[in-house]
Each structure stands twice: as C-alpha cells, then as structure tokens.
C-alpha cells in the first residue's frame, strides 16, 4: 500500500470540503542494480530487472518508475547512438539528451525511463544502434538501474541537469534545486579510461558502481538522495581508475516529483482519511 505523504491543511467545512491542499504520495526506493560488459557486437544486451537490491523489492511492479543509464566507452570513436528498449522494442523515454564526450577516450551516456504497466517488464535491452552490443569488441559498456515507487506521472520536478566533460574521467556532478516537498534526486555518472575501477560516493544513498575492462574501460556509478531543502550538489566521485588528459566522463541529475494522490476527497471520504491518520475532518 502506498504511504500517504505528509501535508493536509484540514477541512474548510467539515463533511463538505475535506482538504485545502492536494496531497501527494511519498516516493520510495524499490532497488537498484549495476553491471559492466566487455566489448561486444551483433546483438542487444539483455539485463534482468528482477535482481534489484538495496530497496523494498527485488523487481518493479505496476506503476514503478525504472531509470536505466547506459554508458559506452570508446577509443577516439565517433559519437555513437545508444538505445534503451523493452524486450518488445519499445523505447524508454529519454531524459535530457544523450551525451558524448569526445576525447582520446570517448564516453557516451544515455539515461531513460519507463513506467511499469500491469505486466511489469522483467528485462531491459541496451545496445548501440549500428553494430549492436557496445558498438565494438574493444570498447566496454556499463549499465546502472534505479527503480522508484510513487513518482508523478509527469516525473520531472525540475529540468534535467547533465554534462559531458573532457580531460578527466573523475565524475564531478553539478547541482539541482528542487522546490517540491518529497522530491527524490537520481544521480549517475560514467567515465572512460584505460584502467578502470569502481566509483565511490560520499553522499548518495545505495550508490552502486561497476566497471568493465577492455581496450577501453567503462565505469558507471549512481545513487539517489531524498531531498529536503536547498540546492543539492552531489560530491565528486572517488575511485574510477587511472585518470589522464585524454580521459572523459558524463553525468546526469534528475529530480523526481512525488505522485499526486487521488483528488476530490470530501464528504463521506473524510472517515476513510481519518482512518489513515489524516486529521481535520
């Protein structure tokens, strides 16, 4: 059962108008997953959605928001077009734009989301649009998954913040300033270098990171923050492997708005609200 989030101002006229403000549901974290892949071509990569950890459930259910971040490294390669799809071929909805950091070690990062339906997906497929897989047998890739419950059907509380950065694989995310109580913030970053290692974070909850070693290594890391007030500026990632001026990275921050509860409570519904612990009726 969803947890009714926090704020009601009570009744204007008892039994007639029960709420003076629209309530919302509290976002909760369902779980996350992360995995790296050596370079490969020929077919899309299928990743299970049923091995989530760190949250309430091992798999998403109807209405859950699944965010998938797909990163591919390269060695002086052109900009690649990445894809994130259901097993049936439906594209996930892109967050912001796909990023490309064009350095000696290139980084492509695509982040997209999908709300689960009454028959939740059990897998997601990630790929490169031309050669499939990671796009080359020498270039590694990595995926990060974050799943959230009770996110608004219009999920963006603020415009997405993102950047592709040259001359370093050290992920240093920007900042975001939500204004809606109950907002959750999802942060992901990916670096490309020759000797990768997992990232670390000092301020993101359930931070998960993976690296894949190939001629060019890809390392991804992500987590979330339950926002309360002010501007949130995630700390610079630690780890990540050997840095250098030919390395690159990309990052993205998205603020998720809480779902609006069912509107129109009033009259006979006041009794039900009181049973939920909402006073004033």
- Of 15-19, 44-48, 67-71, 224-228, the one with minimum mean pLDDT is 15-19
Average confidence (pLDDT) over 207-235? 97
Is 0.75 surpassed by the pTM of this model? yes
Q: Determine whether 62 is exposed, middle or buried from the number of CB atoms within 10 Å of its CB (0-12, 13-18, 19+).
A: exposed
Instruction: Give the residue-averaged pLDDT of 69-86.
Output: 96
Does the pLDDT value for residue 24 go beyond 90? no
Over range 15-20, report the average pLDDT.
40
Question: Does the pLDDT of residue 18 top 70, yes or no?
Answer: no
Helix-, strand-, coil-residue percentages of the chain, each rounded to 5:
0, 45, 50
pLDDT grade for 139, boundaries at 50, 70 and 90? very high
Average pLDDT score, the chain: 88
What pLDDT score was predicted for residue 260? 83
Per-residue buried b or exposed e for 259-269, using 16+ beta carbons within 10 Å of the residue's own CB: bebeeebbeee
State the average pLDDT over residues 248-265. 82
Res 42 pLDDT > 90: yes
pLDDT band at residue 261, thresholds of 50, 70 and 90? low
238 touches 170 (CB < 8 A): no
Does the structure show a pLDDT above 70 at 228? yes
């Amino acid at each position: 059962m969803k947890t009714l989030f926090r704020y009601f101002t009570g009744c204007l006229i008892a039994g007639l108008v029960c709420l003076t403000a629209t309530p919302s549901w509290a976002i909760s974290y369902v779980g996350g997953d992360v995995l790296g892949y050596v370079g490969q071509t020929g077919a899309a990569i299928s990743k299970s959605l049923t091995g989530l950890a760190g949250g309430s459930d091992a798999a998403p259910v109807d209405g859950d928001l699944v965010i998938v971040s797909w990163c591919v490294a390269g060695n002086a390669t052109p900009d690649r077009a990445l894809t994130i799809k259901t097993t049936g071929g439906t594209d996930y909805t892109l967050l912001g734009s796909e990023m490309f950091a064009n350095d000696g070690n290139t980084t492509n990062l695509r982040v997209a989301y999908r709300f689960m339906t009454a028959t939740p997906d059990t897998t997601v497929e990630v790929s490169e649009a031309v050669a499939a897989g990671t796009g080359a047998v020498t270039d590694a890739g990595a995926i990060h998954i974050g799943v959230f419950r009770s996110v608004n059907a219009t999920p963006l509380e603020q415009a997405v913040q993102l950047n592709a950065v040259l001359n370093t694989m050290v992920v240093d995310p920007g900042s975001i300033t939500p204004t809606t109580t109950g907002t959750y913030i999802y942060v992901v970053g990916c670096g490309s270098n020759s000797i990768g290692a997992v990232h670390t974070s000092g301020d993101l909850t359930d931070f998960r990171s993976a690296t894949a070693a190939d001629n060019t290594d890809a390392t991804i890391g992500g987590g979330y923050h339950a926002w309360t007030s002010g501007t949130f500026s995630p700390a610079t990632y630690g780890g990540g492997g050997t840095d250098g001026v030919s390395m690159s990275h990309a990052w993205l921050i998205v603020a998720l708005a809480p779902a609006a509860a069912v509107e129109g409570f009033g009259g006979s519904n006041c009794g039900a609200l009181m049973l939920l612990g909402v006073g004033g009726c």
